[in-house]
Homo-oligomer: A and B are copies of this chain.
């Protein structure tokens, strides 16, 4: 298909390379790779993982679990706090596939016990420093209550942490430090509840990209690594060459007087995530593209976004190099959010790649 509007191009070769890299890293240290599928939300891309030997996955919603279960995935963890209002949908899913949920409080476990009959594995979510959700590792009373399921078919499988505080520019040493702090939390909690057989489930893309030895955990759950993005590059998790998605955007307006180019491609295509680079916000990195591939040399940056407009700030050389009707490529700041906003991806061969459709949920 001809690219005429903002279109998220996907380089299958790069995605497969990223998957293989992470799968090999996991194999080397022995944990299972249970990649997070919230990044791509696509049954087709899920198959690329399956072809690299991946048999289980993580999702961030019950809807996403339903979508991937329908696509043939038999072993899913919903890595989002158990939502009592979705007990019925969880019950149905759990009667079809091997399903794990996340328990963040004893009330949540009680609700699961009392409202879901099907077998469900569960993980206790630990707060290892991000302070989003999860129980503090020293809150033994709560943890002990969360470890005691009243139902034999609701089995405590393990402990799960998402070290969201790795989402900043990070050295390997700092990533390792956060990993070892998380390990200490896992050990402390295991000891408190007297279980040595618990799965330690860890994983976020910065940690999984920067830490080399994961032999102390049994499961890794990174998601973003399949695509990577400008934010991960900024954090030090990847190179620009590793980024596997690029938004092709038509140039619609050129303003040499203020060094700006306006493209069709805005908040409804990228979301509004940004990285702060000294005193400026950056909403994307501009590269060249013809709609069937892209170069990785940064040419300019996206300075701001409105609903449909992206405003690029660049050198006069860059400004002079483009014409209205040209395409430019924009490497997204946050590929998970950009991917979520698309109706579909387009491969470098010009084929549509379908994904979860919100209108059908």
CB distance from A302 to the nearest CB of B (A): 13
CB distance from A87 to the nearest CB of B (A): 9
What secondary structure prevails in chain A residues at the interface with B?
mixed
Query: In the bound complex, how far is the Cα of B132 from the Cα of A327, in angstroms?
Result: 19
In the complex, the answer to whether A83 meets B264 with C-beta atoms within 8 Å is yes
| Copies of this protein in the complex | 2
A217 within 8 A of B: no
Which residue on B lies nearest to A327, using beta carbons?
B85
Cross-chain contact B359 with A308 (CB below 8 angstroms): no
Q: A105-B324, A268-B340, A272-B273 are in contact. Are A5 and B62 (CB under 8 A)?
A: yes
What is the total number of residues of chain A having a CB less than 8 Å from a CB of chain B? Answer: 64
Q: Are A343 and B324 within 8 A (Cβ)?
A: no
Interface string of A175-208 (1 = CB under 8 A from B): 0000000000000000000000000000000000
Per-residue CB contact flags for chain A residues 1-19 toward chain B (1 = under 8 Å, else 0) read 0111100000000000000
Q: Please, how many angstroms separate the alpha-carbon atoms of A359 and B344 in the complex?
A: 6
A343 pairs with B360, CB closer than 8 A? yes
Judged by a CB distance under 8 angstroms, whether A358 is at the interface is yes
A213 at the interface (CB under 8 A from B): no
User: Measured between alpha carbons, how far is A341 from B104 in the docked complex, in Å?
Assistant: 27
Q: Report chain B residues within 8 Å CB of A105.
A: 253-254, 324
Q: Does A99 contact B (CB under 8 A)?
A: no
Given contacts A5-B63, A60-B307, A63-B5, contact A83 B250 (CB under 8 A): yes
- List the B side residues contacting A258 at CB < 8 Å: 131
User: CB-CB contacts of A308-339 with B at 8 A, as 1s and 0s?
Assistant: 11010000000000011101000000001100
Q: CA–CA, A17 to B2, complex, Å?
A: 43
Contact string against B for A residues 208-228, beta-carbon threshold 8 Å, 1 for contact and 0 otherwise = 000000000000000000000
Roughly how many angstroms separate A264 CA and B325 CA in the complex, as a whole number?
A: 41
A325 vs B114: C-alpha distance when bound (angstroms) = 13
A3 CB → nearest B CB, Å: 7
Which of B104, B253, B254, B354 has a CB less than 8 Å from the CB of A252? B104
A250 in contact with B337 (CB, 8 Å): no
Q: Determine if A323 and B107 form an interchain contact, defined as CB atoms under 8 angstroms apart.
A: yes
Q: Which residues of B contact A359 (CB under 8 A)?
A: 343-344, 354-355, 357-359
Closest to A110 in B: B324
Contact with A262, one of B81, B84, B361 (Cβ below 8 angstroms): B81
Question: In the assembled complex, how far is the CB of residue A128 from the closest CB belonging to chain B, in whole angstroms?
Answer: 15
Tell me whether A89 is interfacial, beta carbon within 8 Å: yes
Please tell me if the beta carbons of B358 and A83 are within 8 angstroms of each other in the complex.
no
A residues 1-60 in Cβ contact with B at 8 Å? 2-5, 38, 60
Say whether A325 contacts B111, CB under 8 Å.
Answer: yes
Contact check: which of B131, B133, B308 meets A80 at CB < 8 Å? B308
Q: Are B164 and A306 closer than 8 Å at their CB atoms?
A: yes
**CB-contact partner of A272 in B83, B88, B272, B324, under 8 A:** B272
Chain B residues whose CB sits within 8 angstroms of the CB of A323 once the complex forms:
107
Shortest 7 CB-CB distances between A and B: which pairs?
A343-B358, A84-B325, A81-B252, A343-B359, A4-B85, A357-B359, A272-B272
